[in-house]
C-alpha cells in the first residue's frame, strides 16, 4: 500500500497524464493505484441489436432491453447505448470514451448481423488495447456469450439444447476456485448457486464442452468456470479469458430482479437476486480499472442512455421495458 506522500505524487502524475497523455497511459497508472483511487464514475456501453420480431420493428430498427441498463446502474455505473450502423471511426471514438462494453442476449445471426459486426470491432480493440496495457472489459450474456465464442474461434460451434425457460443451479469446475468472476462471492451464496435454481436460461443453442475442448483457439483463450447439462448435452454456462478481461455467461443475471414475465425460468428468490448484485458489482469494478473518458462533459451527457425513454413492452414481449433506436 503506498504511503500518503507516494499517493499524492501518483495522483499528481494522474493530473499531468490527463493533460498530456493518452487514455492508455492513464489506464496503466490507474491499475497501479489503490482500489479506492480508481475510476469511480465508470460508464459502460451496451450494444444495441436489430429488432428481430414484428412487435418491436414498428418501434425502431434496433433496441436494448431496459433490464441490462438497470443491471449496470444497480452497481454504480452509467450506460451509453452503442448504436448500430456507425462508422469504425465513430466506434473508435466511443471505445476511447467508455470503460467497458456489454453484449446482451437476443436472437440475431452470429455471422451476418450488424450486432456481430460492431461487436467484432470492440472485441478487436479490447484485445489490442490489453496487449498495450489498456484494460477494457467485455461482458457477453446469452447471445453475447455465444458471440464471444464465435469472435474468438471464427466458427459457429453451437449445439441445439432447447434450454428455453429453465432456472438452473451451476456446476462449478475445478477452475472456478481461481475465477475472477466469483472471487468476491460469499461462500454461502456459491453453495446456493450450486444447489438451487438461481440462473435464468433462455437459449436454444449452447456451446458444448465437447466442442469447446476440441477447438484450440477457444481452449487456449478461455477457461470454463461453470457448466450445465440439458438435453443430454453438457454446455458451458460461465467462462472467462485467461489473459484478457473478457467474460461470458450463457444465463441471464439481469433478469432475476428486473424481468417479471410469469415463467419458471426467471427466479426471484433472495439468493437469485443476490447473484445479480454480485455479478453486476464484479463487472462495474472491472470497468473502474479503465480510465477512458469523453472529450468533453457535453459529449458525455449527450451520449448517455438518459437521452432516451424506455417503452413499456411487458404486454407483448418478454421484456418489461426496452429502449428503441432508429
| 142 included as an active-site residue | yes
Q: Tell me which of 203, 252, 268, 292 is the catalytic residue.
A: 252
| 252 included as an active-site residue | yes
Collect all residues with Cβ–Cβ distance below 8 Å to 298 and sequence separation of at least 6: none
The cell 465437447 sits on which residue? 210
Q: Tell me which of 142, 145, 203, 292 is the catalytic residue.
A: 142
Largest CA distance in the chain: 61
Alpha helices (H) along the chain? 4-20, 23-30, 54-57, 66-73, 88-95, 114-131, 143-153, 187-195, 209-213, 216-221, 255-258, 270-287, 297-303
**Cell numbers of 153, please?**
474461434
Helix (H), strand (E) at residue 225:
strand 222-230
**Angle between helices 4-20 and 23-30 in degrees, nearest 10:** 170
Helix (H), strand (E) at residue 305:
none
Residue 279 β-bridge partners = none
What is the distance between the alpha carbons of residues 135 and 45, in angstroms, rounded to a whole number? 15
Catalytic machinery residues: 142, 252
Amino acid at each position: 500500500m503506498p504511503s500518503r506522500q507516494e499517493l499524492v505524487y501518483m495522483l499528481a502524475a494522474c493530473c499531468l497524464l490527463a493533460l498530456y497523455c493518452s487514455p492508455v497511459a492513464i489506464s496503466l497508472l490507474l491499475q497501479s493505484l489503490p482500489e479506492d483511487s480508481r475510476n469511480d464514475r465508470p460508464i459502460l456501453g451496451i450494444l444495441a441489436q436489430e429488432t428481430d420480431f414484428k412487435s418491436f420493428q414498428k418501434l425502431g430498427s434496433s433496441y436494448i432491453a431496459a433490464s441490462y441498463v438497470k443491471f449496470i446502474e444497480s452497481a454504480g455505473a452509467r450506460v451509453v447505448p452503442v448504436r448500430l450502423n456507425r462508422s469504425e471511426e465513430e466506434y473508435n471514438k466511443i471505445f476511447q470514451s467508455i470503460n467497458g462494453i456489454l453484449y446482451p442476449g437476443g436472437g440475431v445471426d452470429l455471422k451476418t448481423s450488424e450486432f456481430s459486426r460492431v461487436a467484432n470491432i470492440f472485441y478487436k480493440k479490447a484485445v489490442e488495447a490489453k496487449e498495450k496495457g489498456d484494460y477494457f472489459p467485455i461482458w457477453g450474456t446469452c447471445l453475447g456469450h455465444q458471440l464471444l465464442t464465435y469472435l474468438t474461434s471464427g466458427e459457429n460451434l453451437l449445439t441445439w439444447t432447447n434450454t428455453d425457460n429453465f432456472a438452473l443451479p451451476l456446476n462449478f469446475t475445478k477452475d472456478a476456485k481461481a475465477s475472477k468472476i466469483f472471487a468476491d462471492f460469499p461462500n454461502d451464496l456459491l453453495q446456493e448457486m450450486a444447489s438451487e435454481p438461481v440462473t435464468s436460461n433462455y437459449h436454444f443453442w449452447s456451446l458444448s464442452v465437447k466442442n469447446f475442448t476440441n477447438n484450440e483457439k477457444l481452449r487456449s483463450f478461455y477457461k470454463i468456470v461453470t457448466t450445465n447439462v440439458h438435453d443430454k448435452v453438457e454446455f458451458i454456462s460461465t467462462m472467462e479469458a485467461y489473459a484478457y478481461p473478457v467474460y461470458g455467461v450463457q444465463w441471464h443475471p439481469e433478469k432475476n430482479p428486473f424481468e417479471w414475465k410469469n415463467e419458471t425460468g426467471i427466479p426471484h428468490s433472495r439468493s437469485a437476486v443476490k447473484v445479480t448484485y454480485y455479478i453486476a458489482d464484479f463487472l462495474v469494478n472491472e470497468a473502474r480499472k479503465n480510465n477512458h473518458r469523453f472529450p468533453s462533459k457535453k459529449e458525455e451527457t449527450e451520449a448517455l442512455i438518459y437521452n432516451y425513454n424506455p417503452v413499456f413492452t411487458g404486454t407483448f414481449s418478454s421484456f418489461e421495458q426496452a429502449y428503441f433506436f432508429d
